[in-house]
Amino acid sequence: MAIEVRIPTILRTYTDGEKAVEGSGGTLSELFADLETRHTGIEARIVDGGKLRRFVNVYLNDEDVRFLDGIDTKLTDGDSVTILPAVAGGMV
């Protein structure tokens, strides 16, 4: 099961500079564990104590997973996951 994961610039040191990588898992937690097997160190930058880090936002098909089921949000084939530094402001 392939899920596209978009990686922010700040974390591309873990992905050899790749903007997007593929991973698998039935939940976000499983997906990040799967990424860790190929991109050592990335999981700890996203997850802390079983939760998403405070200043990291993760989006499933553009929707913030904190408003879905957080790190337990279920994934299905073809989903797109985006990891971003937390940002607000900048509009209008």
User: Which of helix, strand or coil describes residue 88?
Assistant: coil
User: Is 92 a residue that touches other proteins (CB under 8 A)?
Assistant: yes
User: Is 64 a residue that touches other proteins (CB under 8 A)?
Assistant: yes
User: Is 90 a residue that touches other proteins (CB under 8 A)?
Assistant: yes
User: Is 56 a residue that touches other proteins (CB under 8 A)?
Assistant: yes
User: Which of helix, strand or coil describes residue 81?
Assistant: strand
User: Is 85 a residue that touches other proteins (CB under 8 A)?
Assistant: yes
Question: How far are the Cα atoms of 70, 75, 92 from residue 60, in angstroms, in the given order?
Answer: 10, 8, 25
Instruction: Rounding to the nearest 10 degrees, give the CA dihedral for residues 59, 65, 66, 69.
Output: -170
User: Is 63 a residue that touches other proteins (CB under 8 A)?
Assistant: yes
Rounded Cα distance, 73 and 34, in Å: 15
Q: How far is the CB of 41 from other proteins (least distance, A)?
A: 14
Q: Hey, which residues between 15 and 34 contact other proteins (CB under 8 A)? A: 19
Chain contacts with other proteins (rule: CB under 8 A): 8-10, 19, 45, 53, 55-57, 59, 61-64, 66-68, 82, 84-92
